Structure 1
Amino acid sequence: MPEPSEQPLLVCKPKKIESWRIFKIMSEFIEGFDILRRYGLAASFFGSARATLGDDSYNRAEELARRLSKKGFAVITGGSAGIMQAANKGAYGAGGASLGLNIRLPDSQVYNPYLTEKFVFDHFFVRKVMLTYSSEVYIYFPGGFGTLDEFFEIVTLIQTKKIQKVPIVLFGKDYWGPLLGFIDKVLYQEHKAIDKSDMDLYVLVDSVDEAYEYIAKNVMC
């Protein structure tokens, strides 16, 4: 087997840099923040787009959003199906503000029908910033990679003090329990990769009443 070469890798062709895209990105940031500025108290819901009407998580997300809306919260989601639709449906049915921050995809564009306002992003990272800085509480129902990514994003930003501490609610002990056990046993106890206090950045709940009462007591207006 030949020895690996120590010569530096050469770029076959220059990367195409579309400098003009910065203006589109800037416009999305400006428009996105202008929209969010119109809302005061807000709750962001995250979770699987695959949840369907009749699923326990769907029904609970709808009920929690309905109750928070009646308390004066605007409900913010990614504007698509599943848990996002459930939360928007709850807020919409209660007569509250129901905002969807959606993403433009090449093959399809899915909106749920329970939005009082929506905004479509071309860039995932701009949309993620909007969802990150949008609310006084972040509520995570069971979901896929996107939900986990959004959870760890918020936890990291709070841990590193890049944003102020806000309540993080993890809904569903069957789903979140194993992950939190891994964080405790592997990250904290075995590898000392986090502090014990980092595990106080979120709360695990298993009922709408429990979630609602925690939010009502801990959201600072």
Structure 2
Amino acid sequence: MAEEKTIPPPQPHVEDISGNEAQMASPSYRLPTLDTEFLLSEEMRGVRFMLEFAKADQVLRAWGIVSTIVVFGSARSHEAGDGRAAFWYQQARAFGRIASERGGALLHGEPIRRNVIATGGGPGIMEAANRGACDAGAPSIGFNITLPHEQEPNAYSTPELTFRFHYFAMRKMHLALRAHALVIFPGGFGTLDELFEILTLRQTGKAPVIPIVLFDKGYWTKLINFEHLLEHGMINPVDLELFKYAESAEEIWEILVANGLETFQATSTRARFGMMKRDG
């Protein structure tokens, strides 16, 4: 009987190299925090989501921002626009200034800022509100979003408070998280999305009681027949008390204060930000 021979298992091919270049170059050797391919993988989506929350939250805390006034509205309403669009822009800019001067964003000698203007960071009404804050020498926030047709930040949000998000959900969370008031100017799909999300959170008790103002009643009542919803039992009468209408920047501010917005107006003139650098 012939003797069986033992066949050794295959061995990995080892190149005759004198250094460790292959090991150093391997993707597995990269630090996870420096490995873009790894961080952008599907498995790391939860980590990326957490990072988008943590980065903005850390910066806002460092600036002492404890509350915001969020302004929504169309990206297509420009200062040089036709008809009502130019008026909406002008009033959004005026409101950004009024809120910044009277709301607490300019307070100095204290570690916190209140009622800081926050927008989606883009053009149109968002630009106008950030611009009004800039007119007052106050900081303001721009929560930008990465879109297929890239949305660039407007030139008036404070550079150090201008953020960019990939996830709409995290952007919305930051917009709502510190909001002590919501002002909605005329807009399209994006504005309606933000409006109804906040109204739903308020209706269901998932968000604290904050004043909500819709600017230009004629626009909103023609666009949305809230009474029709009530007539068919889709909402309760009390739901129509979740928001108010205003026709001017000054009226917006009066309604916000009358409906519970706390104000912290500075008692002395504050030095302007100049080039929007944070003061020490």
Whether TM exceeds 0.5 here: the answer is yes
CA-to-aligned-CA distance 1:43-90 (integer Å, 9 cap, x gap): 110000011114000000000110000012311001110000000000
Give the Cα separation in 2 of the matches to 1:207 and 1:217.
15
Written as runs of structure 1 = structure 2, the 5 A alignment for 1:35-74 is 35-37=59-61, 38-54=64-80, 55-71=86-102, 72=104, 73-74=115-116
SS of structure 1 residue aligned to 2:179: coil
- Cross-structure match for 2:243: 202
Written as runs of structure 1 = structure 2, the 5 A alignment for 1:100-111 is 100-111=142-153
Give the Cα separation in 2 of the matches to 1:167 and 1:69.
17
Identity of aligned residues (%): 41
Matched positions, count: 202
In the TM superposition, residue 135 of structure 1 has moved relative to its aligned partner by 1.2
8 Å contact kept, 2:67–2:178: no
In the TM superposition, residue 130 of structure 1 has moved relative to its aligned partner by 1.1
8 Å contact kept, 1:167–1:218: yes
Aligned amino acid, residue 48 of structure 1: S
SS of structure 2 residue aligned to 1:19: helix
Q: Does 1:28 align with 2:52?
A: yes
SS of structure 2 residue aligned to 1:79: coil
Aligned amino acid, residue 75 of structure 1: I
Distance change >3 Å, CA 217–CA 147, structure 1 → 2: same
- Cross-structure match for 2:133: 91
Deviating above 6 A after TM superposition, structure 1's stretches of 4 or more consecutive aligned residues are none
- Cross-structure match for 2:22: none
Q: TM-score, length-normalised on structure 2?
A: 0.69
The structure whose Rg is larger is 2
Give the Cα separation in 1 of the matches to 2:261 and 2:132.
22
CA RMSD of aligned residues (A): 1.6
Q: TM-score, length-normalised on structure 1?
A: 0.86
SS of structure 1 residue aligned to 2:144: strand
In the TM superposition, residue 25 of structure 1 has moved relative to its aligned partner by 0.7
Give the Cα separation in 2 of the matches to 1:94 and 1:29.
29
The one of 152, 164, 170 equivalent to 2:208 is 164
Give the Cα separation in 2 of the matches to 1:158 and 1:108.
31
In the TM superposition, residue 106 of structure 1 has moved relative to its aligned partner by 4.1
In the TM superposition, residue 40 of structure 1 has moved relative to its aligned partner by 2.7
Gaps of 5+ in 2: 1-40, 81-85, 105-114, 263-280
Give the Cα separation in 2 of the matches to 1:220 and 1:141.
19
